[in-house]
Amino acid sequence: MSAVRATVWGAKGFTSRTRPSGFLRSVLQNGTGRYVQQLQRITLRFCQKSPDSKQTRDFVQNKMVDFAKDNPGVVVYVTPETEAEPKICAEFLNGRSEIVPLSKLTEDEIQEKIVQLRDRSGLEIMRRRKTIHTDFPSIQGEWTPFTNKRDYTVKYYPKCAVSPKDAWDFLESPWKPYYRQHELNKLENRQRLTVDEKADLPLGKWGPILKPWY
């Protein structure tokens, strides 16, 4: 937040409710095809002899040329004036201009301010009402991993008791109620061999199931 905004939003007049607020916005379609830098021009005003402008004069002499070379899309103006307070006037594509005072900033802090202005979208800084905003809201609201979470209450636990049985023991078929009557007779009257009887077969006790006798 710039020093100007901090001054405007000081203790005089504004509270948390009367302070201007808005939704999260961005420049329309900026970055869809290519990114367009929103900062178009910056103007540095300072005094040639004032002690308050010494850091600004040193910045213009040491680092301003490098910034202009690294950012050819930003027009840089340097305006020395008599008895003028050091400040930056930034102008954006949307027509807004912002003024940042530099009287108590060092060279590195001035460079940080200029970089922040370079990366700005030009929109006014204000309190955000929501962290997420869309022009076409969903009737279901914002989705989270816990949106459709359900609480499952287990009333009956499965019986995990296991009783050892022989693999060749006759077990009741779970599909018995679904058989027709004549098929049920075939199922109940099929031949059942013991383990020793199956051991004499060519494939041993793991041989194929014999066809039922009728």
The pTM of the full predicted model, rounded to 2 decimals, is 0.52
Give the 3-state secondary structure percentages of the chain, helix then strand then coil, rounded to 5.
Answer: 25, 15, 60
Confidence (pLDDT) at 10: 43
Query: Domain map of the chain by residue range?
Result: 36-123, 170-214
Q: What sign does the CA torsion over 22, 28, 33, 36 have?
A: negative
Query: Do residues 76 and 67 touch, judged by C-beta distance below 8 A?
Result: yes
For 92, other C-beta atoms within 10 Å of its C-beta total 19
Confidence (pLDDT) at 113: 93
104/107 Cα distance (integer angstroms): 10
Confidence (pLDDT) at 209: 54
56/79 Cα distance (integer angstroms): 11
- CATH code: domain 36-123 is 3.40.30.10
Residue-wise pLDDT tens digits, 101-135? 998 899 999 999 999 999 888 888 787 777 777 77
Which residue ranges in the chain fall short of pLDDT 50? 1-11, 212-214
